[in-house]
Structure 1
Amino acid sequence: MQNHTIVSREEWTEARRALLLREKEETRLRDAVNAERLALPWVRLEKAYRFDTPAGPKTLADLFDGRSQLIVYHFMLGPEWEAGCPGCSFLTDHLDGALPHLNHHDVTLVAASRAPLARIEAYKRRMGWQVPWVSSNGSDFNFDFHVSFTEDELKSDAVDYNFTRIPADGCPDELPGLSAFYKDETGEVFHTYSSYARGPEQLIGTLMILDRAPKGRNEGSTMNFVRRHDEYEDEPAPRGAG
């Protein structure tokens, strides 16, 4: 934690007003970026991706559940994994409360992973989540959206992730992301948006709160303090990131 100058209330207010100007710039920039996001062109999907769900097999179009908009969180839980990615779990902890608001606003939110449905359901029970979660195992969905990688890809020099080529050496076979889709009145489905790496970070309300705490995120590297929410009990709270 950096050393802070101790000042009078008047000096603090002056400094805070200066920061407020920067915060307003950030808000206006975020609004502008949101407008550009909404103006992105769309891609018509030709594949009818299939998923295993608790209600039986469904296509991507079925996952809209009667709504016109669908957001899929690409959750890192591979076919052989015993537990979900801690970072993805951290993000998913924040989704249940949003579900009724999203549904009322014509948006369906689901998580998707390549793990078999039984493994997904078991981990979902462990975490106590309500968010719908489907298995993309056996389809090209994860590979086409560049959040899963084949053995051949991982043996090559680089893989496609976050709209660039990243080194394959040391790359895991699963990475996180978020994708959005629209279904029109005829039932056609369009890919409208995807975001990867730290892109979906604003979904994590805890980070937004920590950004306003005296020590901030207090992390040595990106989210290195994060554990699954049932794994904190025996671990002391961090006192500093170095």
Structure 2
Amino acid sequence: MNVQNHPVVSREEWLAARKQHLAHEKAFTRERDKLSAERRALPWVKIDKDYHFQGPNGELKLADLFGDHSQLVIYHFMFAEGWDEGCPGCSFLCDHIDGANQHLAHHDVAVVAVSHAPFGEFQAFKRRMGWKFDWVSSEGCDFNYDFGVSARAEDVAAGKATYNYEKTDGSEEELPGLSVFYRDDAGEIFHTYSTYARGLDLLVGAYNYLDLTPKGRNEEEIMEWVKHHDKYDDAAPASCCHSG
């Protein structure tokens, strides 16, 4: 859409168009509520595998990632062994976690990022980004493979690699995703949901702001404009609310 040549109308005409769009927004909201209910009604899979992770104090089990909560959201952060910094897109998404976590932690939800790289390799990057959320390593176990965000070289070569529940021709070392787990009163753990690719959009609050603006997301490829938050040009125009 060319915002420079956008129709300009009277307030009355705008109000009529806005009310018509409001009806569509309300219908979408009802459909979204229906979809969310359908998601919650999905069957679960019991986790019997002994996954292990590395955290700041040594080895952790999947159960440890829950803390005192019954619900666990894991963000599969793209950071492989030998990388100097994390994926810019994953970093964009994770910039939103700490603010939400202040509330989620008080509503029976733990949020943890998991990466394939050894734990020590992403600590400097986490400090650089200023993040507080828990971030652990899945090095040495099948977690990334089992939950669809890493592909073994032999599966890629054999054309058996999948992403987002479909076969993929890609050979990416790491891919993004999110998985959700539930722990019952007996301590049993269940996998309830996973999502990938555009399914992660809901976690990116900045996109929701952009979707409200005249130019929208204004990108040719998903997140092609996104940088680590400490790499944006300092010469960018400041908000009018910023004092000099």
Among 59, 62, 66, which residue is 1:60 paired with? 62
Percent identity, please: 53
- Note if 1:153 corresponds to 2:155: yes
1:211 touches 1:217 (CA, 8 Å); kept in 2?
Answer: yes
CA distance in structure 2 between the aligned counterparts of 1:98 and 1:71, rounded to whole angstroms: 12
SS in 2 for 1:61: helix
CA distance in structure 2 between the aligned counterparts of 1:137 and 1:81, rounded to whole angstroms: 14
CA distance in structure 2 between the aligned counterparts of 1:235 and 1:79, rounded to whole angstroms: 34
In structure 1, the gaps of 5 or more residues are: 238-242
CA distance in structure 2 between the aligned counterparts of 1:38 and 1:173, rounded to whole angstroms: 31
CA distance in structure 1 between the aligned counterparts of 2:49 and 2:122, rounded to whole angstroms: 24
1:136 touches 1:142 (CA, 8 Å); kept in 2?
Answer: yes
Q: Which amino acid aligns with 1:143?
A: Y
Deviation at 1:182, TM superposition (A): 0.6
- Note if 1:5 corresponds to 2:15: no
SS in 2 for 1:179: strand
CA distance in structure 1 between the aligned counterparts of 2:235 and 2:54, rounded to whole angstroms: 36
Match of 2:109 in 1: 107
In structure 2, the gaps of 5 or more residues are: 238-244
Among 87, 96, 99, which residue is 2:98 paired with? 96
Deviation at 1:103, TM superposition (A): 1.0
Deviation at 1:222, TM superposition (A): 1.3
Match of 2:240 in 1: none
TM-score after normalising by structure 1: 0.94
Task: Count residues with an aligned counterpart.
Answer: 235
Match of 2:29 in 1: 27
Q: Which amino acid aligns with 1:29?
A: E
Match of 1:216 in 2: 216
1:154 touches 1:173 (CA, 8 Å); kept in 2?
Answer: no
1:41 touches 1:192 (CA, 8 Å); kept in 2?
Answer: yes
Structure 2 counterparts to residues 163-242 of structure 1, below 5 A: 163-168=165-170, 171-233=171-233
CA distance in structure 1 between the aligned counterparts of 2:164 and 2:236, rounded to whole angstroms: 34
Partner deviation per Cα, 1:91-138 (whole Å, 9 max, x = no partner): 000000111211111110000000111112111001000010000011
Q: Which amino acid aligns with 1:103?
A: A
CA distance in structure 2 between the aligned counterparts of 1:235 and 1:155, rounded to whole angstroms: 46
- Note if 1:40 corresponds to 2:57: no
Q: Which amino acid aligns with 1:18?
A: Q
- What is the CA RMSD across the aligned residues, in angstroms? 1.4
SS in 2 for 1:167: coil
CA distance in structure 2 between the aligned counterparts of 1:94 and 1:87, rounded to whole angstroms: 12
1:52 touches 1:58 (CA, 8 Å); kept in 2?
Answer: yes
CA distance in structure 2 between the aligned counterparts of 1:42 and 1:9, rounded to whole angstroms: 51
CA distance in structure 2 between the aligned counterparts of 1:203 and 1:39, rounded to whole angstroms: 21
CA distance in structure 2 between the aligned counterparts of 1:113 and 1:41, rounded to whole angstroms: 26
Shift in alpha-carbon separation, 1:127–1:44, aligned structure 2, 3 A: same
